[in-house]
Chains A and B, each alone.
Chain A
Amino acid sequence: MPEFDFAQPTSLNDALDLFAADGEVRALVGGTDIVDQLKTGRRNADMVVDVKRIPELQRLELTDDGLHIGAARNLTDIAEFPPVVSDYRGLADSSLLIGSWQIQNRAGLGGNVCNAAPSGDTIPALLSHDTVAVVASNSGTREIALSDFFAGPGQTVLQKGEILVELVLPLAQENSASSYLRFIPRNEMDIAVVGAGSFVQLNPSNNTVLKARIALASVAPTPVRARAAEEVLEGNILTDDLIEMAAVAAVESATPITDVRGSAEYRRELVKVLTRRTLGICRDRING
């Protein structure tokens, strides 16, 4: 590993001063991406700042303005948090798919987001819930819609000196549900060949879709919303035929490449299948 300095601040302000310092300053939560990357030379660091002891970054709280998840909170805690299980189930689905139990116990939600892999499993689930990222530097705080957070593979819009503090998911609405599925060659431990996160809110009296959100992993340089598919759904009655039309439309938002994990053509097929399945699961979860 490269030679780096190490700090373990216990206050956000102390941390922000560290991140503003010259050189490559990297946040450490679970280490499940960054430590491997430092070992292989894929990423570099002059200083590593362990942010796990900053209280704001460990937040896991449902308030009257939404679900607040600190960037350093681990995936196991998040997946088991009762409000996540009941109202943000796609986030639980995705958190429990990442790596293994050992990985989930250490890995932070903020790490999965800021590592910004196109395949990041929690990201489509977060996008499907219209998540907002709260970012801070020592000159202030700003909020960024998660759909505006990613600039390219492995790149976020964070500027020097900024760190992700927390993710905020709006309060859950009645008659709504989310779901995340991915395709991998094995049963566990792989990286998504394609991932799909869906959210549906229905009008219970006539089964009309009031709101639909669909987001895809591994089919573009960043995770993407399948907006054409959302438009197919909104305002219409949720039937199997409508779900099929939306699944087909989701493929329009995918620009996959052929790589070691699969061909572009296969990925387009997976987008259709996983969109169809996650929409069906959302419907079952609303009704069940």
Chain B
Amino acid sequence: MQHISLTVNGDQNELLADTSWTLLETLRDRLRLTGTKEGCSNGNCGACTVMINGRTANSCLVLAVEMDGNEITTIEGIATQGKLNPVQEAFIKDGALQCGFCTPGFIVSTTALLQRDPDPSEEEIRTKLAGNLCRCTGYDKIIMAVEDAAAMLRG
């Protein structure tokens, strides 16, 4: 077990972590932040997407012990209790979710994308969100939601 200190959604957390724990397991099982989902466990589906030091990553492939001194943002840090942000509003308005399992990952990736590029092209959206898989929606409504969220955020 190793002692790690990591900031999650602005809160400092001190834990003892086993070297074999992934960040995903740590977030869900130790810190009870269950918004981040486990889909494939090998970096293909993006359901486990979080931000590490402002950049998106698949938390299923990150070791908890690597994260000492890092800043992590999960869906809980993006979604504010009781109030939808423009990305969430757009996803709901445009029917960009059905079962909702992939949605936290998509919201995190979309938030990161729009922070980097407030007016992405459709091609850029598709490329940057390629690491998030959805079995329900067929993707078109997700793309639309990202474009609508971008427009809303640009005011």
Contact = CB atoms under 8 A, between A and B. Distances in A.
Contacts of B58: 32, 102-103, 106
Contact of B20 (A1, A50, A52, A76): A1
Interface SS, B side? mixed
A31 B128 contact: no
A19 B129 CA distance: 37
Contact of A103 (B43, B126, B127, B129): B43
Interface in A169-199: 187-189
Given A6-B2, A35-B62, A35-B63, A105 B20 contact: no
Interface string B36-72: 0000011110100100100111101111011010000
Interface in B95-141: 109, 126-132
Contacts of A30: 61
Interface string B64-85: 0110100000000000000000
A40 B41 CA distance: 10
Contact of B56 (A48, A105, A187, A188): A105
A102 B46 contact: yes
A48 B130 contact: no
A100 interface: yes
Given A28-B63, A106-B61, A188 B68 contact: no
Given A4-B20, A36-B42, A102-B109, A189 B130 contact: yes
Interface in A65-88: 76
Interface string A17-39: 00000000000101110011001
10 contacts: A8-B65, A8-B68, A36-B42, A40-B42, A50-B63, A50-B66, A100-B131, A102-B46, A187-B126, A188-B131
Interface of B: 2, 19-20, 22, 41-44, 46, 49, 52, 55-58, 60-63, 65-66, 68, 109, 126-132
Interface of A: 1-6, 8, 28, 30-32, 35-36, 39-40, 48, 50, 52, 76, 96, 99-103, 105-106, 187-189
